[in-house]
Structure 1
């Protein structure tokens, strides 16, 4: 007997689920908790299968019968209603859920869980936001080369060629993640490789001859401006030649001043591997003096303005500008090139030991591990020698 709304409303739950048929394979399943669920049994290619239409009364009796009629029509055309329902669901998700913005957010979350540095993630999000402003709500499968190029041209029009290049790369990263997770079929950014204006490559300015570098060293030790954090950081950049972000973001817990070592955590290293640096006595002395100023803060180099934040790379570069060194002469990142050039020119040290101290890692994993253990003693001697050279530079007058 076909169902009626009155009959359905009067159906009471029992201890076990039971079914009440409406005909044509459609029935209502009443569960012990009182739910009334529409189901339809059918056969396709000799196999019995089941469709779910939702719950009553959200899906009315009339709507459930319409769904049954639609399913019968598909069967008449040789189409499996279950397969069609899955395809419809996937299509709906592609239009409403699998947008560029949603998938890019997933990617950023994945990178954060993988331990990528917060600075890296912020830069990535900044680029993604540019793309989201133009096509964030577009289904990922509909993002095409002309759409992307329009966004890139807007960045190029401002003369930001390097940003446009990085934006293309980041958009491509999102699209390739969508391909890997079966929500896109191709990456149209490949077709745009030759479409952008190539940015002019500019290297970080650095003093790589001894006399010029010595002038910078003397200026730093004579500098009485800025905060204790800034003055100490500049001295340590000259002594330790780390990447600026590795130093200025340092926490006091990373330094073992008794053992004279500094352990830089993997998440702050460019190659995402922990890096242990030997500290010469001169560096330990500077750190102990700084600790008397900032030791109450968990950060070793807190900002003078916001104590919960570190000093910025711009702060270090501005201090160099105040000392009279232009951005084409030397930058905070330039200490690495200065040290690398002068250490190699000395002829005293194994090139691999210098590379290990700079945390420049080659392609071979085994060789990297071998370098770290084999060259530690040499790196300790090299750190002491380099601090001795700094002392000689300080003793020599212009």
Structure 2
């Protein structure tokens, strides 16, 4: 039936059971509003193709409103007048795009994927965010070391689940962590290729990988003494090839138990007296973290100022001029562990050592408070979205207690909580 369509009419028209209603617009020839018995509303625009075939384009309401629908039907009439078959052109363009996509190699996909990670469009969803520089750097390392040599030149459309499984098995036999890292990154890249319409589906959404064993390692007092003594000994450090900057960083990570990348990126502008404020972009949880600096921490900073001498970064790499990299930190710590003939451990075990000690009978801090210094993820809704406190007084009591215990363990004189306050420069607004 012919009807003068208005926004109110389109919005309020009701479906009829057992019927599909069609309302032809009296203002724009060829525009039809269709209403199914389930209440679905859409625009139908019919035209005759040059070969005499009747074509129809459709658009969904309310994504396309009345004004936009009229504009589209006018444009369509103009294209038909020029002798064009719009639907045939769209079908051909889509087919051509699929053919072109089939020519893309995994290296092409990787280039686009890493570019998308910089702006947070690497996958679909409402929780997508820009990848942290450290995470992205690690993914590029995995890509260059394990994925690109095997699949880089391959057309993405030709990858099969069987060969991906065989490749993951080979990596896992070399190192379980390499198998996990390689597969997880390849899966992300293939999912990215699906969202970009390069391939219709991920050839390997699920592949068995060896699960990581939960870490339970923490350092004993004797191990802490040995590590601290080596880091303080210039000759011993030289034997293990530990630079002054690396030694100071590994000590600071034990005194202020944040993650390696968070401590490595410490800048003088983040320090105000005996308080260190780590900006949200540098934190794993993307939330600003306020860390009290104890006497031992301030003494390490003073040594860093004298030895490193950089006016921006506390622990600047002499090679790159940038913060010491997590891979370099892990490698240096591994050399220390092997030199001292300790049971395998990593810098991340510092954090477990800290919490085990402060929450145990030695100090007796409740775990909920001990976690404050770790900046560990809190999945409580109120904590995430409503509680904006920094808990600096509570953190300082915990930090002071830990510093005193640590200095006693490594046989250095315990520092009081206040320590010497150094006037570090602050970033100008």
What is the TM-score normalised by the length of structure 2?
A: 0.64
Matched with 1:351 is: 367
Residue 334 (structure 1) aligned with residue 341 (structure 2): no
Task: Kindly name which structure, 1 or 2, has the bigger radius of gyration based on alpha carbons.
Answer: 1
Q: Which has the higher helix share?
A: 1
Matched with 2:263 is: 247
Decide whether aligned partners of structure 1 residues 391 and 136 sit closer, same or farther in structure 2, where only a CA change above 3 A counts.
closer
Pairing partner for 2:118 from 86, 109, 112 = 112
Shift of 1:173: 1.1
Residue 235 (structure 1) aligned with residue 247 (structure 2): no
Matched with 1:28 is: none
Matched with 2:215 is: 203
Distance of 2:184 and 2:233 partners within structure 1: 41
Distance of 2:143 and 2:374 partners within structure 1: 31
Residue 88 (structure 1) aligned with residue 95 (structure 2): yes
* Structure 1 unaligned regions, length at least 5: 1-39, 52-67
Decide whether aligned partners of structure 1 residues 353 and 220 sit closer, same or farther in structure 2, where only a CA change above 3 A counts.
farther
Pairing partner for 1:166 from 135, 158, 181 = 181
Residue 219 (structure 1) aligned with residue 234 (structure 2): no
Decide whether aligned partners of structure 1 residues 374 and 153 sit closer, same or farther in structure 2, where only a CA change above 3 A counts.
closer
Number of residue pairs matched by the alignment: 324
Shift of 1:300: 1.3
Distance of 1:315 and 1:308 partners within structure 2: 17
Shift of 1:45: 0.9
Quick check: 2:257–2:350 contact (8 Å CA) kept in 1? yes
Quick check: 1:44–1:80 contact (8 Å CA) kept in 2? no
Quick check: 1:229–1:302 contact (8 Å CA) kept in 2? yes
Shift of 1:358: 0.7
| Alignment RMSD | 3.5
Which deviates the most, 356-365 or 223-232?
223-232
Matched with 1:127 is: 142
Matched with 1:45 is: 54
Shift of 1:334: 1.9
Distance of 1:139 and 1:305 partners within structure 2: 38
Matched with 1:189 is: 204
Decide whether aligned partners of structure 1 residues 88 and 192 sit closer, same or farther in structure 2, where only a CA change above 3 A counts.
same
Alignment of 1:230-309 (within 5 A): 230-256=246-272, 258=273, 260-305=274-319, 307-308=321-322
Distance of 1:50 and 1:143 partners within structure 2: 41
Matched with 2:35 is: none
Quick check: 1:232–1:286 contact (8 Å CA) kept in 2? yes
Quick check: 1:233–1:247 contact (8 Å CA) kept in 2? yes
Matched with 1:145 is: 161
Shift of 1:240: 0.9
Quick check: 1:206–1:331 contact (8 Å CA) kept in 2? no
Shift of 1:205: 4.2
Shift of 1:335: 1.3
Specify the SS of the correspondent of 1:206.
Answer: coil
Quick check: 2:270–2:276 contact (8 Å CA) kept in 1? yes
What is the TM-score normalised by the length of structure 1?
A: 0.69
Distance of 1:86 and 1:188 partners within structure 2: 25
Shift of 1:214: 5.2
Decide whether aligned partners of structure 1 residues 50 and 96 sit closer, same or farther in structure 2, where only a CA change above 3 A counts.
farther
